[in-house]
Chains A and B, each alone.
Chain A
Amino acid sequence: MAANTGGLTAVAPSAVERPSAARLAVAANTGARPALAANAAVSVRGLIRGFGPKGVLNGVDLDIAPGEFVALLGPSGCGKSTLLRALAGLDRDVRGSGVIRVPDRVSVVFQDSRLLPWDTVLGNVTLGLREHAETRACRALAEVGLAGREKSWPHQLSGGEQQRVALARSLVREPQLLLADEPFGALDALTRIRMHGLLRDLVTAHRPAVLLVTHDVDEAIALADRIVVLDHGRTATVRPVAPQVGSAADAAGHEALRRDLLTALGVHTSVGTAIESAAGAAEAAARPAAAGAR
């Protein structure tokens, strides 16, 4: 898929609407939606979103198979959160067009744990649950290693614990799709690695399709089955992650993929290999470089 060389220049509001209005007309004629993948959990075609005159997403196409773990990479401000919010149906007031199909049960994990401060940990997990709310919530809390903390207030938990509660809250409703927007962005490197393990276990147990937004190339490689790079409002690069690369058993493959992704993110550097503690550093390197590339 080619990157939009036009870049993020101002798009007139009418232009934002047009392309997929045409698509939709075609779809109506043929009585079918424009080539949505039939058995994908998530299928997105020609997604356009913009704030004011500025286009952010310029025709994103994306499919996620049931149970597939997709990581979404991209420089800061490229529209990752915008895409995720569109999938979560949280962008009613944002201009745009395109076709989105998502499953019935969608859960969202935000960068902030977003726990209701006036509700206990248990209350936060049961939010919106109907049958056997407490039993299920307790089980979910035990799963993230927080059994016994049900009666605590959110402010009594550490940042990592709060994020675990948020994970429990999203998984307790057995989602078919889990949307996570930099869920570990605010955590320290060590806690983050622990959380990777936890998330991998939970996803293996519950098998939702996952879209994980992240800045962190290594996080993406460690967790995802497939990595998508968002560039200039389109899904520019798609890389499958072989299992032995994800688990870092294949060190050379791991390094190659990492460099490939950094290049896709606009970081042209041999420094990439020098940074071993990677996570934070790669992220720090990616941001200014990508911003400068525009």
Chain B
Amino acid sequence: MSAATVLERPAVAPHQHPDLADREDVRPAGRRLGPGPRRRLAWLLGPSALLLLWTVSSGTGLLDPRVLSEPWTVVVTAGELIADGRLQENLAVSAQRALLGLIFGTVVGAVLALVAGLSRVGEALIDGPVQIKRAIPGLALIPLLILWFGIDETMKVLTITLGVFVPVYLQTYAGLRGIDLRYVELAQTVRLSRASFIRRVVLPGALPGFFLGLRFAVTGAWVSLVVVEQINATSGIGYMMELARTYGQTNIIVLGLAVYGILGLLSDGTVRLIERKALSWQRTLAG
């Protein structure tokens, strides 16, 4: 038999067959245990339901506006704040803090995970301290950070960074250590250099863990942001809300919450989108 005999394949892939559309398609009944194919925009369903519930309970008077402002009041408030520029200004400041902290934290977490995951010395030096840091709540560090760095931006970004790097480190490290030893053996048999080994085996193998960590980190970044902005700030969404509290402006507080919520949802969605693109080789329940 020659190699050519093995080659034979149908010229048209079955699912692309032109006149398949009007053929009968009867299949045996069977139960699907996975969640089924992905539907576009389906992720909007949950948040929309929540919004609807809020609107209905406000409209029917079930919800006292002094407890929680009506959605339309919040929309009007948003319009006013955008008109006088306060919302954009504070949002820009908040977003910058969160983003900087996220970037620094992600880089630090990923690099530490690589060093700890690839060398025993790194593991011995890095893993212990990170586990200790993990046991200390981020909030508990703020007094010390204020003493060291004052109350300006450095302290705020640093607080966020410290909150971000831990989940990125933990998940990336776990992903890296979970790489199947068989692939490492393969890399040895094809004589990969250390650099190629990291690039072709370690990094892609650790990527699912990294993305998991990144999603925790994004949420964590917003949480840390709220904390630093409400404790000590003269700008940002948290400051805007804190100011509103002293004047009893529930609508602005709720607007702030809504902004945080939307930002959180958008950033998580972005990470998931990147994740799906980067991990398209994976065949999992997520689909």
- Answer yes or no: are A and B bound together in one complex: yes
Within 8 A of A (CB), among B231-250: none
A194 near B281 (CB under 8 angstroms)?
no
CB distance A201 to B188 under 8 Å?
Answer: no
User: Contacts A116-B183, A127-B200, A198-B6 given: A88-B189 contact, CB under 8 Å?
Assistant: yes
Q: Which residue of B lies closest to A92 (CB)?
A: B188
CB within 8 Å for A147 and B7 given contacts A117-B281, A118-B204: yes
**B183 closest partner in A (C-beta):** A116
Contact A145 B281 (CB under 8 A): no
**A114 lies within 8 A of chain B by Cβ:** yes
Query: What does DSSP make chain B's interface, helix, strand, loop or mixed?
Result: helix
Residues of chain A within 8 A of B190, CB atoms compared = 107, 127-128, 169, 173
Residues of chain B within 8 A of A147, CB atoms compared = 7
Taken residue by residue from 150 to 193, chain B's Cβ proximity to chain A (1 for < 8 Å, 0 otherwise) reads as 00000000000000000000000000000000110111111110
Do A90 and B188 form a contact, CB below 8 Å, given A110-B182, A112-B182, A147-B7? yes
Q: Are B204 and A116 in contact (CB under 8 A)?
A: yes
A155 to B284 Cα, complex, angstroms: 11
Chain A CB within 8 A of B207 CB: yes
Question: Do the beta carbons of B3 and A145 come within 8 Å of each other?
Answer: yes
B200 near A119 with CB under 8 A, answer yes
Contact status A106-B207, CB under 8 Å = no
Establish whether residues B192 and A127, one from each chain, have CB atoms under 8 Å apart when the complex forms.
Answer: yes
- The answer to whether residues A194 and B189 also contact, given A110-B182, A145-B7, A155-B283 and a CB cut-off of 8 A, is no
| A117 in complex: contacting residue of B2, B185, B192, B282, CB < 8 Å | B282
B5: which A residues are within 8 A, CB to CB? 145, 194, 197
A242 contacts partner chain B, Cβ-Cβ < 8 Å: no
Q: When chains A and B are docked, how far (Å) is the Cα of A143 from the Cα of B6?
A: 10
Per the bound structure, the CA–CA distance linking A114 and B201 in Å amounts to: 12
**What mask results when residues 207 to 221 of chain B are scored 1 for a CB within 8 Å of chain A, else 0?**
100000000000000
Question: Shortest Cβ distance from A133 into chain B, in angstroms?
Answer: 11
Are A128 and B183 in contact (CB-based, < 8 A)? no
Contacts of B279 in A (CB 8 A): 118
Cβ-defined contact, B6 with A114, below 8 A: no
- How many residue pairs between the two chains, A and B, have CB atoms under 8 Å in the bound complex? 74
Mask: chain A, 99-127; 1 = CB below 8 Å from B; 0 = not = 00000001110101010111100010001
**Is A198 in contact with B1, judged by CB distance below 8 angstroms?**
yes
In the complex, per-residue mask of A7-51: 1 if CB is within 8 Å of any chain B CB, else 0: 000000000000000000000000000000000000000000000
Tell whether A89 pairs with B207 under 8 Å between CB atoms, given A164-B6, A198-B3: no
Q: With A116-B204, A197-B1 given, is the CB distance from A145 to B191 under 8 Å? A: no
Contacts of B205 in A (CB 8 A): 118
Q: Tell me if A144 counts as interface (CB < 8 A to partner B).
A: yes
Task: Please state if A145 and B189 are interface contacts (CB–CB under 8 Å).
Answer: no
Please, how many angstroms separate the alpha-carbon atoms of A201 and B186 in the complex? 24
- Give the complex CA separation of A155 and B280 in angstroms: 11
Question: A90 CA to B185 CA in the complex, in Å?
Answer: 7
Within the complex, what minimum Cβ distance (angstroms) separates B7 from chain A?
Answer: 4
The answer to the question of A290 belonging to the interface, with a C-beta cut-off of 8 Å to chain B, is no
Q: Which residues of B contact A201 (CB under 8 A)?
A: 1-3
Query: Are B3 and A143 within 8 A (Cβ)?
Result: yes
- Which residues of the partner chain A approach B2 to less than 8 Å between Cβ atoms? 197, 201
CA distance A201 to B6 in the complex (A): 12
- Report chain A residues within 8 Å CB of B192: 127-128
A183 to chain B, nearest CB (A): 13
What mask results when residues 211 to 223 of chain A are scored 1 for a CB within 8 Å of chain B, else 0? Answer: 0000000000000
**Contact of A116 with B3 at beta-carbon distance under 8 Å, contacts A106-B189, A128-B192 already known:** no
Q: Provide the bound-state CA to CA distance between A107 and B205, in Å.
A: 23
The 3 residue pairs across chains A and B that have the minimum distance between CB atoms: A197-B1, A128-B190, A145-B6
Please list 10 pairs of residues, one from A and one from B, whose beta carbons are closer than 8 Å in the complex, sorted by A's number: A89-B188, A110-B182, A112-B182, A116-B200, A116-B201, A118-B204, A118-B281, A119-B200, A154-B281, A202-B3
Given contacts A112-B182, A118-B204, 16 further A-B contacts (CB under 8 A): A89-B188, A110-B182, A114-B186, A116-B183, A116-B201, A119-B281, A127-B192, A127-B200, A128-B191, A145-B5, A155-B283, A194-B1, A197-B5, A197-B6, A201-B2, A201-B3
Q: Spell out B's residues near A (CB within 8 Å).
A: 1-7, 182-183, 185-192, 196, 200-201, 204-205, 207, 279-283
